[in-house]
Every structure is written in structure tokens, then in C-alpha cells.
Amino acid sequence: MDEQDFFGEGELVAVLTTQPLDRKLDYKAPEGGCFRGAFVEVPLGPRKVLGVVWAKGRGDFDYSKVRPVNRVLEVAPMRDEMRGFLERVSEYTLTPMHAMLRLATRAPGLSDPPSMRKIYRLGEGEPSRQTDARKRVVETLTEYGGLAFTLKELSDMAGVTSSVVKGLVKQGVVREEDTPRDVPFFRLDPEHAGKDLTADQAVGADALRAGVRSGKYGTTLLRGVTGSGKTEVYLEAVAECLRMGRQALVLLPEIALTAEFLTRVEARFGSKPAEWHSGVTMTERRRIWKMVGQGGAQVVIGARSALFLPYQNLGLIVVDEEHDTSYKQDDGVLYNARDMAVLRASICGARVVLASATPSLESWANAEAGKYEKLELTSRFGEAVLPEMKAIDMRVEDLPGSCWISPSLQRAVNTRLEKGEQSLLFINRRGYAPVTICRACGHQIGCDHCDARMVEHRFLKRLVCHQCGETKPMPEECPSCHVEGKLAPVGPGVERLAEEAETLWPEARLAVLSSDLFGSARALKEGINTIAEGGADIIIGTQLVAKGHNFPLLTLVGVIDADLGLQGSDLRAAERTFQLMRQVAGRAGRSEKKGQALLQTFQPEHPVIRAILSGDELGFWKTEADERRHAGVPPFGRMAGIILSSPDVQQVFDLGNALARSDGPMRAIGAQVFGPAPAPIARVRGRHRVRLLVKAEKSAPIQAALAQWVGQFKLKGDIRLSVDIDPQSF
Ligand code: ADP
Ligand code: ZN
């Protein structure tokens, strides 16, 4: 930091706060001055709010009326690159800066002064009388070098009562110190337990290590079938990052995966890394936030919001399962974590590894265009081989109504049962049945607040709206014609499939894996472990099982409805189905036993189904890319969605039409505006949603034009507008 970055007492500073204001506020620097980037507490009306000293003040108010900053917080100031990152994300996603700051300070208690606690480390003294218990305490402290422990940690690890430790403190053998409560994480050791890599893997690891050593930005697309050792390979890049004294971030799409992953990282580096996601306690969040800022956390394993932690020296970002759609979700700020990871890395000179068995078309195209480096692992580790893929043509299967497991699939499961191997029946639908229909009048039960059908969940004994979460008991009579006892389930859900499997195989042990059947991430993890250890013969699961879990005994995957994702008009449907089917099939045969994947389909000649079966990935991407290029949509063109919502349907359409009529700023950059039309989900929680889609050339300055276009309108009443750059569906 140079002198320009310091503001002496009384100098004017512009402070960005987390309050929804459209400008930064001027304050006087406090006694002792403050640095640019300092986290401060400032008065705002009668309140005290959190802010960051962003720049020199504007001084367009009467100086004597400007209030001073209350105090500077005892946390590391926000670094230049972080301020730059927040500004760039704000520009890209058209998100106001106060919302960006909120995203970057999601650690409660940030403004509390540090509290103290006692820690224990090895002292100089000799014990007056040696006992086994005392010896164990000294040994534990010696073994971990200079590390300090809390009283509980130390007594637990040494297997003694806390009074033994206290006794040693009196004699000076153990030293007791006061330290801030937020303690650093244990050090991770890059040399702790490296694996012998296969030739294929070693080449990949070398390339990634060299990239990390360069200390410059660069992105590598690491492609490899499930089980090929992508994780092993990118952990070597993490090791290199540790050797260089830089921090590493690994993003995972699903919290349920982190526990298994943490164990793996611990096995590789000897200690647990920091873990950041919505399930982490508030105290722990504050600790991680501070330690990441001070360099006391070397590796963070986290969900997408971990991108906004205040890294001191970030050298590597891994985005695992980079194609996963959950990297883009609406939590106030609409951003795609994969894309923002690349942005963040390019600002701070870090490497990015995008890992996937089935990359997104975006990343595939970037690699083809030479923007990303390409690395490929072609074979599975050890004896494991890719499953054989086959279609079951449902048009010729002899199957009674309301049954979904075809005779061919049944035979395949029988064979596995005889051999003591596991089968997975996959259906991407939660609940019992997707539709509940009245057989007297044809009425389908829908949600009162959303444009969605209510899904019967027998397990919960209720109807559930998958849009808004609203539930209600199954009615006795039809809400429309009031005839009793005529409501019937239509179509299969995971629970109904389980019922069918139970009838077919009463002796078999069934396990149903669906997110809503587990109360917590821990329960889910236990369920998964039980299955992995052989505690089930047949697994019935939703999308949840497609992601990353390792089931060594699993040799058969039966996809109940391979056509499911191909309906609808979404241009990404083919890509999604291709990825999902390949991921699910990849669950089979991950150890030495050969696997098989059977896809039940009514359209075996559909090009996407054919591509899945033949495994012709390159051919699939090429065809898909041609279609998107032709249509001028991402990744070959730019798109943005404008979503308007209001409880009043007339109001949203009126504003939508007004926007469409005044699309001058968009036309000026050669963009086309489509709509307004009902959004993909036309009503959520009682709000009607209307969408306008914007399509432009890849090089068009779409953000500036959007800001100008939307900026012409003042939002009245209860109407909301949000901009979605690079929408997931189009
Ligand atoms: P991917 O991330 O590509 O799905 P993983 O890295 O999870 O693959 O590897 C699959 C399995 O094979 C894991 O259990 C992993 O520990 C094991 N494995 C992969 N490579 C090696 C290796 N070189 N030595 C030992 N085990 C390996
Ligand atoms: Zn609803």
C-alpha cells in the first residue's frame, strides 16, 4: 500500500455500506486515520452499519456536517483485488454494489471486537513426578511441534482429564496463553501422503503443477470419465499451491459431497481444510472469514459463495463438476460461480481448474477456441472400466399400466441380486407421483400460489409444491367437482418406483435416495455410507445419486425414463440430458467389476439418446455447438433475461410491454428483444412472472445497454425487476 491509500484523521472518505443506497457515503476518517479498504462501523441515521472505506470522499456536502467513522474494525482491510472483483461482478451481473458487499461479508459478528480464549502449548519446565497421563500430554504437544490446543482438544487427544493439563500448567510444563478466539486452521502438508499416479494422471498433474508455479492466470479444462482420478490429479495442483505458500479454493456443487471430500483432503494433506457452505455454524463462519483474510486457512472447500471470501493470496480455484447447474442459483445476486471463478482468478493471478466428466458446452467451446488449456484422463483408475450402455425400447416391452420397470430391466436386476451386486434405479423425480388427477372430472391438483402441479409425497403424507415448498394434506374429494375417492396418482416418482421394486423383489434390501427423505446433510451422508458399504441391494434414487458418490458394489444402472429431459423447448435440454445420463451411468462399475447401464426410452433413435449410447462425446458436442451457433445463442452469442414479477398479472404485462416498446438502447447495439412472455415458471409464491429475452452478438456491450434500457423505468408498487445475464434456460 502506498501513501495514497492512507487517510489521515479528518480527511474525507467514501464508504460503501451494505445498506440499499445508490451511492457511497462521505465520512471523516477517525482518530488515527484509516487505510483504503478498512472495514469500518459508521453512523447512519440513528443506526451503526458496516462499511468499507472505498475511496477518497467526494466532498460535495458541508464539511462541518459530515460525521466521523465510529471505529475501524480489527480485521484485515479489503484488498484492492477484492474491491476490483466486486466491482467487476457488479458490472457484469448488473447487481448494485451494496448487495455485492453483503455477499462478501457473510460472516456474522464481523464487527465484534475479538474475544479471547485460553490455549495450551509446550512450556520449558519438567514435571515433578512423571505419570502415564502426564507423559501423554507432553508427547501430544511434542508430536504437533509448536501448535497450540484448547483445553478440550489437548485433553481429548492425550486421553486425560483437564485437571492433568491444569496440573502441568502449574509446574510450567505446559504454557497457558490468552489468544483471540478465532484460531488458525491446522497446517496442511503437501508432502503428507501423495499417491502414486498412473502415467496418464502424472502427465495431467505435471501440467497443472506447472500452471500453478507460473503464478499467472490460466484456466484448464480437466476432462475425464468418472473414476479416472480427476480429484487425485487436481489435489496435486492444490499441493503445489501449498508449497508456494498460496491459498487454494475447491468449489463443489453439492453440500452432501463435502463430508466425503473433506476426509479425502485430510488423508492427502494430514489435516482438515476449512469448510464453507450454508450448513456451517455462524461462529465457524466468522473464524473462516477472518482466517482466510489472515492466511490462517490454506485451503477452503466450499459452495459457490466461498468465491467471495477475502483471500490473502489465492493461487488456485478448482471448480469440480463444472457443468453443474447449481453453480448458478438465485440468492439475491444472480451469478454463475464457474464464470466468476475465472474472473476472480484473472484478477489475482491464480490458476483455474474446471473438472468434469461431461463439461458444459461453454467450457468445451472455450477450450476448442484455445482460451482454456485442455487436459484429458481417458481411462478409469485400476481395473475399473466404463459401463456398457444399452437402450431398452419401451415400445416393445410388455408392461402393465402404472408400472415402470420393464421385464428386460427386471431380468438385469435379478442377475445382480443372484451375484450379490448392487443395482441403481434412477428417476429424476422426487415424490410419489408428479400429477394427481381426478378420474371423475380430469382436474389436476395445482399449487394455489404457483403455476405448478402439487406432487404427492406418500412419505410425508402430503401434497408438495416443488416450486414454493407449500404443502397440504391429500384431499378426500376433488377440489373441482367434489366427487369423493376419485383422485389418482399419474406417472412415476421415486417413492412410487420404490413401491414397485418392493413388490417385485420383496426379499431385497431397498434404499431410497432422494433429498427430501433425509432430514439433514449428515443423515444423507450416513445413508450414502451405508449403501457404499453394501447395506442395500437395490438403490432407488433421484439426481442426488448422479453426483460424485462412490458405490464400489454397484454394477447396474437402470434409467427409468431417459426421455424425461428431452421434452420442452429449452435449448439446453439436450446438453442436460446428455450430461445427466452419462453421470448416472458412470456410477456403475467403479471398481474391478464391470458395469452396465440400461436406458428405458420410447425414442431410441433420438440423436441425443444415440449419442449417449454410442459414447460419441465429440460428435455430440459438435452437433450441439453447430445448432447453438446457428441460433446465435450462448456460448456463441449473448443472452440476458429480464424477469418482472408482481402479484398483479396486469401490472407485470403492462411494464413488460412498455419495456418492449422502448427497446431503443438494445436496438442501438444490434440486440433483439423477445417477449414479454410468461417466464419458465410463470407464477411463484403468488407472484406472476414475465420474462423478456435479449439476444445479442457475442461482442455487444450488453450490460451498459441493459442498464440504460431498464433505467428508463421507475418501478411502482410491488413490482420487482431482476436481470439475469446468461440465463440457464432459453
Ligand atoms: P474422479 O474425480 O475422476 O471421479 P477420483 O479421483 O475420485 O476420480 O478417483 C476414483 C477412485 O480411484 C478414487 O477412489 C481414488 O482414490 C482412486 N484412485 C484414482 N487414482 C488413483 C491412484 N493413482 N492411486 C490410488 N487410487 C487412485
Ligand atoms: Zn407453489
* Segments making up each domain of the chain, as ranges: 6-87, 116-180, 199-377, 388-434+491-625, 637-725
- Name the CATH code of domain 116-180 (choices 2.40.50, 1.20.1070, 2.60.40, 1.10.10): 1.10.10
Q: How far is CA 173 from the centre of its chain?
A: 47
CB 231 less than 6 A from any atom of ligand 1: yes
Residues 6+ apart with CB under 8 A from 251: 302, 303, 304, 306, 307, 317, 318, 319, 320, 327, 337, 341
More confident residue, 468 or 91: 91
CB 224 less than 6 A from any atom of ligand 1: yes
Q: Supply φ then ψ for residue 328, to 5 degrees.
A: -120, 115
Angle, CA of 239, 244 and 247, to the nearest 5°: 70
Distances (CA, A) of 679 to 99, 676, 685: 24, 9, 14
Residue whose C-alpha cell is 434500457: 709
Angle, CA of 706, 711 and 714, to the nearest 5°: 140
Q: Identity (one letter) of the amino acid at 460?
A: L
Mutational test site, ligand 1, from 381, 386, 587, max ligand atoms within 8 Å of CB:
381
Known binding-site residues for Zn(2+) equal 438, 441, 447, 450, 465, 468, 478, 481
**ipTM of the complex, rounded to two decimals:** 0.95
Angle, CA of 286, 80 and 32, to the nearest 5°: 75
Q: Which of 417-431, 435-449, 524-538, 559-573 has the lowest mean pLDDT?
A: 559-573
Same fold, 199-377 and 388-434+491-625: yes
Are 167 and 154 contacting, i.e. CB atoms less than 8 angstroms apart?
Answer: no
The CATH superfamily assigned to 388-434+491-625 is P-loop containing nucleotide triphosphate hydrolases (3.40.50.300)
Class level of CATH domain 199-377:
alpha beta
Q: Identity (one letter) of the amino acid at 62?
A: D
- For 418-464, what is each residue's pLDDT tens digit? 999 999 999 988 889 888 999 989 899 988 887 888 889 887 788 88
Q: How many CB atoms lie within 10 A of CB 717?
A: 9
**Statement: residue 2 has pLDDT above 60:** no
472 alpha carbon to ligand 2 midpoint, in Å?
Answer: 11
pLDDT band at 42 (very low <50, low <70, confident <90, very high): very high
- For 320-334, what is each residue's pLDDT tens digit? 999 988 898 776 788
CB 268 less than 6 A from any atom of ligand 1: no
pTM: 0.81
CB 324 less than 6 A from any atom of ligand 1: no
Ligand nearest to the CA of 448: 2
Max alpha carbon distance in the chain (Å)? 89
- For 266-305, what is each residue's pLDDT tens digit? 999 999 999 998 878 777 888 899 889 988 899 999 999 9
pLDDT (mean) for 242-255: 92
Are 88 and 347 contacting, i.e. CB atoms less than 8 angstroms apart?
Answer: yes
Q: Alpha-carbon distance 84 to 706, whole Å?
A: 21
Are 89 and 79 contacting, i.e. CB atoms less than 8 angstroms apart?
Answer: no
Ligand nearest to the CA of 685: 2
Least Cα distance to 657 among 675, 679, 645 occurs for: 675
Q: Alpha-carbon distance 663 to 646, whole Å?
A: 21
Class level of CATH domain 637-725:
alpha beta
Average pLDDT along the chain: 88
452 alpha carbon to ligand 2 midpoint, in Å?
Answer: 6
The pLDDT assigned to 317 comes to: 98
Burial class (CB in 10 A: 0-12, 13-18, 19+), 112: exposed
Ligand nearest to the CA of 357: 1
Q: Which run of H or E residues covers position 626?
A: helix 617-631
Lookup: cell for 370 = 484455445
Q: What is the DSSP letter of 395?
A: T
- For 633-675, what is each residue's pLDDT tens digit? 888 999 999 999 999 989 999 999 999 999 999 999 999 999 8
Are 693 and 639 contacting, i.e. CB atoms less than 8 angstroms apart?
Answer: yes
CA atoms within 13 A on the CB side of 154: 30
Q: Alpha-carbon distance 121 to 379, whole Å?
A: 48
pLDDT band at 158 (very low <50, low <70, confident <90, very high): confident
pLDDT band at 349 (very low <50, low <70, confident <90, very high): very high
Mutual angle of helices 607-614 and 573-585, in 10-degree steps: 30
Mutational test site, ligand 1, from 232, 323, 554, max ligand atoms within 8 Å of CB:
232
Are 571 and 415 contacting, i.e. CB atoms less than 8 angstroms apart?
Answer: no
Q: How far is CA 451 from the centre of its chain?
A: 26
Torsion of CA 328, 334, 336, 341, to 10 degrees: -130
We find that the CATH architecture of domain 6-87 is 3-Layer(aba) Sandwich (3.40)
Least Cα distance to 673 among 702, 699, 657, 695 occurs for: 695
**Statement: residue 521 has pLDDT above 70:** no
CB 532 less than 6 A from any atom of ligand 1: no
Which residue's C-alpha comes closest to atom 11 of ligand 1? 227
Q: Supply φ then ψ for residue 303, to 5 degrees.
A: -85, 175
Residue whose C-alpha cell is 408438495: 464
Which residue's C-alpha comes closest to atom 9 of ligand 1? 229
pLDDT band at 359 (very low <50, low <70, confident <90, very high): very high
Q: How many CB atoms lie within 10 A of CB 554?
A: 26
CB 229 less than 6 A from any atom of ligand 1: yes
Distances (CA, A) of 291 to 103, 184, 633: 17, 6, 42
pLDDT (mean) for 6-19: 93
pLDDT band at 193 (very low <50, low <70, confident <90, very high): confident
Distances (CA, A) of 165 to 122, 153, 180: 11, 11, 20
Q: What is the DSSP letter of 475?
A: P
Strand, coil or helix: 438? strand
- For 689-708, what is each residue's pLDDT tens digit? 888 989 999 999 999 999 99
720 alpha carbon to ligand 2 midpoint, in Å?
Answer: 19
The pLDDT assigned to 569 comes to: 59
The pLDDT assigned to 402 comes to: 84
